[in-house]
């Protein structure tokens, strides 16, 4: 894990690019610790409010450590039309985790997305960068097996 100061040194630009800096911090540390907002703001020459505004606006920026496995569940039109909610309910029950949350054991983070580019095989899910189509309540256990 790269130290925050080293990341910030590489991200100084004029004008400051808050989003790119936050993405770099998250890429190196897994998330953006809200307690580091003042340090980031100072390094970029912007206000804490500027940094917090960007951090809270972009849903891909995390303010808590993610689970070891990142699950992105598609709730786009095609997936909804193919009854994605039933599969999502089965997944939430299996993980005992809310949408947008991380399991208590820290193994899984469950997020929603609105397109995985796999509409022909809806509903779709992405686990650790791998996309799976035709996801059903019955396939939940199989996709999570080996990742528990």
Residue 129 has pLDDT above 80, yes or no: yes
**What is the residue-wise DSSP string for 76-114?**
SHHHHHTTHHHHHHHHHHHHT--TTEE-TTSSEEEEEES
Residue 109 has pLDDT above 70, yes or no: yes
Q: Residues 44-69: pLDDT tens digits? A: 999 999 999 999 999 889 999 999 99
Mean pLDDT of 101-115: 94
Q: Residues 84-96: pLDDT tens digits? A: 999 999 999 999 9
**pTM of the model as a whole:** 0.78
């Amino acid at each position: 894990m790269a130290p925050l100061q080293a990341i910030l040194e590489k991200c100084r630009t004029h004008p400051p690019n808050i989003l790119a800096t936050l993405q770099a911090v998250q890429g190196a540390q897994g998330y953006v610790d809200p307690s580091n907002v003042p340090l980031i703001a100072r390094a970029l020459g912007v206000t804490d409010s500027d940094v917090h505004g960007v951090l809270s606006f972009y849903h891909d920026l995390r303010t808590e450590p993610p689970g070891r496995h990142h699950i992105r569940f598609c709730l786009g039109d095609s997936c909804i039309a193919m009854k994605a909610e039933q599969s999502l309910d089965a997944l939430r029950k299996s993980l005992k985790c809310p949408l947008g949350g991380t399991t208590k054991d820290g193994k899984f983070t469950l997020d929603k997305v609105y397109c995985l580019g796999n509409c022909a095989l809806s509903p779709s899910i992405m686990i650790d960068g791998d996309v799976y189509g035709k996801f059903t309540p019955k396939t939940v256990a199989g996709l999570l097996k080996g990742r528990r």
